[in-house]
Amino acid sequence: SGCVGSSDLSASVSVPVIDLGLLPSSDEQGKLKLALCSGGCFQAIGHGISNSFLNKVRGVAEQFSQLLQEEKQKYSRAANQVEGYGYDLVVSEKQWYVICSDLTLSRRTVSYELNSCREVLHEYSIKLKQLVDLLFKAMAKSLALEENSFSDQFGDNPVMHVRFNFYPPCTRPDKVLGLKRHSDRSWITVLLQDEQVEGLQFVKDEKWITVPVIPHVLVVKLGDQMQIMSNGIFKSPVHRVVTNTDKLRISVAMFNEVEPEKEIGPVEGLIDENRPRLYRNVKIYASFNYECFQKGKVPLEEVKFHA
Ligand code: OGA
Ligand code: NI
């Protein structure tokens, strides 16, 4: 979707690296706050998940990508559903097609024969749950809030979705994106990048910067739900994925979302006369965000109070 102008193909620039093993030391907490208030993303080390396990997660994604098309179609996604295998076909303003193939398997509905996939993802979700629990507490503390200030809004049944993204090689990477610019609808997304192939880009100082591939790192990015709950203090970064001519790129994204029916809004302690409430309360943000994405609207702008 859209053109990748030659001027915005920039070299890899570093994205902050945070050692989760050092939290809640005040130095690391300070770095975390800075990263989340500026770019809204960082690369996590010290997360306690072994490299061999991360490779297992990549392995099951790869295994799925190698299934025959008919086999994959058995798990296909119904129209307007997020669960299942499918392609997103969207025509952009410039009339290029974006083709992003993905597989969404929620923990609730995993029902296919790739049992190792189910087991590995289940184990991965437990490990990531521990990681995100640590993070929301550290994030609240870094803003001098009670540690459950954000999680109080998650509801009794917060959702975790995993998506395998497959970006096949593309003959015209200058013309075709893997995933068009967007911000995630989650409150936090943990992304396991391909071990070798770069492609994820964030906007920094109005330029696209490529996230380097560092072994054993998890890319953590905030989503819109956290920008809303933090009254705009933490950022939900705009990002996209570029394609390349020679190599398939696989990534595994784990999205953490609040319970869909739960209304979310800015935390009271983050609203005062210097920082008035920026966003209205919203429910079912996930589908609202998806509709906006399809229409080319910026969802966060749609829930913002405009003076
Ligand atoms: C996403 C996403 C990035 C990637 O799935 O929302 O931004 O590198 N993925 O695949
Ligand atoms: Ni994304």
pLDDT digits (tens, 9 = 90+) for 203-247: 888 889 999 999 899 999 999 999 999 999 999 999 999 999 999
Ligand 2 mean position, distance from CA 184 (Å): 5
Instruction: Among 82, 105, 165, 197, name the best residue to mutate to test ligand 1's pocket (greatest count of ligand atoms within 8 A of Cβ).
Output: 165
Q: Would you state the pLDDT for residue 7?
A: 39
Task: Answer whether residue 175 shows pLDDT above 70.
Answer: yes
Whether the CB of 231 sits within 6 Å of ligand 1: no
pLDDT band at 185 (very low <50, low <70, confident <90, very high): very high
How much is the pTM? 0.88
Q: Would you state the pLDDT for residue 81?
A: 67
Give percent above pLDDT 90 in the chain. Answer: 56
Task: Answer whether residue 87 shows pLDDT above 80.
Answer: no
Ligand 1 mean position, distance from CA 287 (Å): 18
Domain ranges of the chain: 17-301
User: What does the mean pLDDT of the chain come to?
Assistant: 84
DSSP the chain: -----GGG-PPB----EEEGGGTTSHHHHHHHHHHHHHTSEEEEE-----HHHHHHHHHHHHHHHTS-HHHHHTTBPPTT-SSEEEEEEEE-TT-PEEEEEEEEEETTT--SS-HHHHHHHHHHHHHHHHHHHHHHHHHHHHTT--TTTTGGGS-SS-EEEEEEEEE---S-TTT-EEEEEE--SSSEEEEE--SS---EEEEETTEEEEPPP-TT-EEEEE-HHHHHHTTTSS----EEEE--SS--EEEEEEEEE--TTS-B---GGG-SSSS---B--BSSHHHHHHHHHHHT--HHHHTB---
Per-residue pLDDT of 42-53, as tens digits, reads 999 999 999 999
Ligand 2 mean position, distance from CA 274 (Å): 31
Whether the CB of 241 sits within 6 Å of ligand 1: yes
Query: What is the CATH architecture assignment of 17-301?
Result: Sandwich (2.60)
Q: Would you state the pLDDT for residue 82?
A: 66
Whether the CB of 251 sits within 6 Å of ligand 1: yes
Task: Answer whether residue 104 shows pLDDT above 50.
Answer: no
